[in-house]
């Protein structure tokens, strides 16, 4: 069967809603229809298909497609990877239909065009002019689930994969600049349970907002400590950062606040032990926990994501740098690379700009089509032929 045109593939991928939403099940979409569509196209090209349901998700799946002319289809070759889900969208702020590819002003607009369902359209386009029967090493294509909330798909794949490719490329929008490292992500929820009462007699209650005020003071001390004690000049922001993102508490001006909640994140450097940050957070808040026993709870919002680094001298990274004629850089955002880097040297490299990710009227400039196709074909030729 002949593949549809590039723009038809692109549009069909964007048309299928695959929004991830951890808080609201009604707004959390399965990716099953999308991976089945990818599976059909890739099967028509001769790829062997494996669809895997991901435990503890809402009907989410990974797809692994493999083309190999060898009896051993697990060793060597190339893995091209992307996630199938998107973030929610701000309906009132979009001027284009988020579930349709709209061509305007030399750009392709739509939810997931850049981040990053569109990458699969670029992969399929690059395969049109390649004689797959000439491959001497396997080519794998991985489509993962739930990257935008838990990274459950990539974590499950890394835990169970039997592959050992020579190189993995994650097609996040990097403006076709190779990325070799990024920071980790830790999101914690701090809940204060106070004692409510009438505001006219504050001594009879425990105001959770006031306790949270003490907690925030300690957190800001920790923020400065992290900045002073950890450094990596490879990053534009060369130290761990902390952000106090959400705070909720209280229900009336004349009532002592009985509950207050803060959600925060820490962006850790790759060399930092991601789990030790929880212990450090607990130690920092211990004096206040002693003052208010059993009233301060510290938990993860989602499982922490480690930082990632592919070393400068890694042969696969050096080959990719030569192919694209660009030196690898580092970024502050997170990807699935910490998981896939456990399997093979992993580089983040894809069309479009990260500036468009998670934004209204997300788009990819049409000028990326030819260079992305050429780059993917060079990667396949280098690692699979």
Helices 118-127 and 32-44 cross at an angle (nearest 10°) of 10
- State how far Cα 321 lies from the chain centre: 23
Q: How many other C-beta atoms can be found within 10 angstroms of the C-beta atom of residue 188?
A: 21
Q: Are strands 107-109 and 102-104 parallel, antiparallel or unpaired?
A: antiparallel
129 is an active site residue: no
Contact 234, 293 (CB under 8 A): no
**Residue of 178, 142, 296, 280 whose CA lies nearest to 219:** 280
Whether the link from the prior residue into 116 is cis, omega within 30° of 0, is yes
- How many angstroms separate the CA atoms of 359 and 86, rounded? 11
319 is an active site residue: no
Residue 32 DSSP SS3 = helix
Q: How many CA atoms lie within 13 A of 215 on its CB side?
A: 27
- How many angstroms separate the CA atoms of 230 and 268, rounded? 9
Question: Looking at residue 51, what DSSP letter applies?
Answer: E
Q: How many other C-beta atoms can be found within 10 angstroms of the C-beta atom of residue 343?
A: 18
Q: Which of 12, 28, 73, 147 is catalytic?
A: 147
- How many angstroms separate the CA atoms of 281 and 287, rounded? 12
**Residue of 347, 348, 277 whose CA lies nearest to 306:** 277
Contact 121, 364 (CB under 8 A): no
Q: Which of 12, 85, 115, 361 is catalytic?
A: 85
For 369, the enclosing helix (H) or strand (E) is helix 369-384
Catalytic residues: 85, 147
């Amino acid at each position: 069967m002949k593949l549809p045109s590039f723009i038809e593939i692109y549009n069909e991928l964007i048309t299928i809603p695959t929004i991830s939403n951890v808080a609201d099940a009604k707004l959390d979409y399965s990716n099953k229809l999308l991976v089945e569509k990818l599976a059909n196209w890739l099967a028509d090209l001769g790829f062997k298909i494996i669809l895997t349901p991901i435990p503890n998700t809402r009907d989410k799946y990974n797809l692994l497609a493999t083309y190999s002319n060898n009896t051993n289809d697990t060793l060597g070759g190339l893995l091209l990877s992307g996630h199938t889900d998107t973030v929610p969208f701000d309906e009132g702020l979009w001027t284009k239909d988020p579930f349709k590819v709209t061509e305007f002003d030399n750009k392709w607009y739509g939810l997931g065009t850049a981040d990053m369902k569109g990458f699969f359209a670029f992969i399929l386009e690059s395969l049109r002019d390649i004689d797959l029967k000439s491959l001497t090493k396997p080519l794998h294509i991985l489509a993962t689930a739930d990257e935008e909330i838990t990274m459950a798909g990539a974590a499950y794949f890394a835990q169970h994969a039997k592959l050992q490719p020579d190189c993995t490329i994650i097609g996040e929008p990097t403006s076709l600049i190779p990325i070799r490292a990024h920071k980790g992500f830790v999101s914690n929820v701090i809940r204060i349970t106070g004692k409510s009462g009438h505001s006219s007699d504050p001594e009879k209650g425990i105001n959770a907002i006031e306790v949270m005020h003490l907690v925030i003071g300690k957190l800001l001390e920790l923020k400065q400590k992290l900045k002073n004690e950890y450094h990596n000049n490879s990053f534009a922001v060369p130290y761990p950062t902390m952000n106090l993102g959400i705070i909720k508490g209280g229900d009336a001006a004349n009532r002592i606040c009985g509950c207050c909640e803060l959600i925060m994140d820490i962006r850790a450097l790759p060399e930092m032990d991601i789990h030790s940050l929880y212990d450090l957070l607990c130690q920092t808040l211990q004096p206040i926990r002693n003052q208010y026993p059993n009233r301060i709870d510290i938990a993860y919002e989602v499982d922490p994501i480690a930082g990632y680094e592919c070393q400068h001298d890694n042969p696969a990274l050096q080959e990719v740098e030569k192919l694209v004629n660009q030196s690898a850089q580092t970024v502050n955002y997170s990807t699935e690379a910490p998981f896939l880097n456990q399997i093979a040297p992993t580089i983040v490299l894809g069309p479009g700009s990260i500036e468009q990710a998670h934004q209204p009227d997300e788009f990819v400039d049409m000028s990326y089509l030819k260079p992305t196709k050429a780059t993917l074909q060079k990667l396949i030729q280098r690692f699979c032929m």
